[in-house]
Amino acid sequence: MLDAATEVFATHRDLLFSLVHNLLGSVADTEDVLQETWLAWASARHSGIANSRAYLVRIAVNQALARLRRARRERAVDPGPWLPQPLLAGPAGAEDGALREESVSLALTVVLQTLTPLERAVFVLREVFGYDHGEIAGLLGRTSAAVRQTAHRARSGVRSRRPRGEPGPELRRAVTERFLSAALGGDLGALMDVLAPDVVMWTDGDGTPGIARRVVEGRDRVVRLVRAKAPGLPAGLTVRCVNTSREPAALLFAGDRLHTVVVLELTPAGDRVSGIHGVVDPGRLTRVV
């Protein structure tokens, strides 16, 4: 039988997981923050806490903010591409639908990386989880006016960089299949046709040999990179189309091992690929399947 403190934490754990993962983009870091939150909660004097949910969220968000600031400093030293960890399955015990409702797309998460840690936290709390400015001020120890200004800056930053248009999942899946068929089949003409002229490709290899550690811009450069890297891919890759968070994705398997997750952004018309997100870092693929 769970004691009262454990039961309260378990009740809110899925919310905390979803919130922190939206901020950090890493399952391992999210689990670490939840462990730190649990330790703080377990040692607290619960009789003086009027709102346990707000207390837990405040601890988790501020722990995540501290990690975001450290990660920002580290990425200033290592400027290679970074992508969040895609989630197919939710945290233990979570309902998949609830997780999807409280998550942002991989493409939007990449945009959020351009915000300051504070702007990102305010944006996620306000736009994804629906907290009002006063509630966010209480969680972050700021005034409502300051939070309102931060929220405005965050929305403006996201609006200026957010991919335009939201093609439906069926169209996105069809274009994903066209792209992969051309890329894996070596059909460079078909690959040129499916890519927008200003396509951008991000890959997060975390030092994995053969993976581009930079953002590649432009159709010709992307095609050259795909052509150069294709011979080094494992033979017999198989593809499975799934949904991760809020968007269709393709899982590439080498035998039983997950090799890559590919998520595409499309042009507003939905007929060409404007962005390619390839997650290949083995450490970021552990919670996808």
Domains 4-161 and 169-284 equal at CATH topology level: no
Cβ of 13: how many Cβ atoms within 10 Å? Answer: 19
Residue-wise pLDDT for 207-234, tens only, equals 555 565 668 999 999 999 888 888 888 8
Which residues, 6+ apart, have CB-to-CB distance to 219 below 8 Å? Answer: 192, 195, 196, 197, 198, 199
**CATH (one of 3.30.1380, 3.40.190, 1.10.246, 1.20.140) for 4-161:** 1.20.140
- Indicate the CATH number for domain 169-284: 3.10.450.50
Per-residue pLDDT of the chain (289 residues; tens, 9 = 90+): 458 889 999 999 999 999 998 898 888 899 999 999 999 999 988 888 889 999 999 999 999 999 999 877 766 545 555 666 666 644 444 444 434 444 567 667 777 878 899 999 999 999 989 999 999 999 999 999 999 999 999 999 888 776 555 677 778 888 988 999 999 888 999 999 999 999 999 887 655 555 656 689 999 999 998 888 888 888 888 988 887 656 778 889 988 888 888 888 888 888 899 989 888 877 777 666 5
pLDDT of residue 8: 93
> Residues 237-285: pLDDT tens digits?
898 888 765 677 888 998 888 888 888 888 888 889 998 988 887 777 7
Q: Which two tokens stand for residue 194?
A: 């499916």
pTM of the model: 0.72
Give the 3-state DSSP-derived string for the chain, with helices as H, strands as E and coil as C: CCCHHHHHHHHHHHHHHHHHHHHHCCHHHHHHHHHHHHHHHHCCCHHHCCCHHHHHHHHHHHHHHHHHHHHHHHHHHCCCCCCCCCCCCCCCCCCHHHHHHCCCCHHHHHHHCCCCHHHHHHHHHHHHCCCCHHHHHHHHCCCHHHHHHHHHHHHHHHHHHCCCCCCCHHHHHHHHHHHHHHHHHCCHHHHHHHEEEEEEEEEECCCCCCCCCCCEECHHHHHHHHHHHHHHCCCCCEEEEEEECCEEEEEEEECCEEEEEEEEEECCCCCCEEEEEEECCHHHCCCCC
The pLDDT value recorded for residue 162 is: 67
Measured from the Cβ of residue 45, the count of other Cβ atoms closer than 10 Å reads: 6
Domain ranges of the chain: 4-161, 169-284
For residues 280 and 288, what is the distance between their CA atoms, to the nearest angstrom? Answer: 12
Give the residue carrying structure tokens 């011979």: 231
pLDDT value of residue 237: 87
Q: From the CB of residue 268, how many other CB atoms can be counted at a distance below 10 Å? A: 12
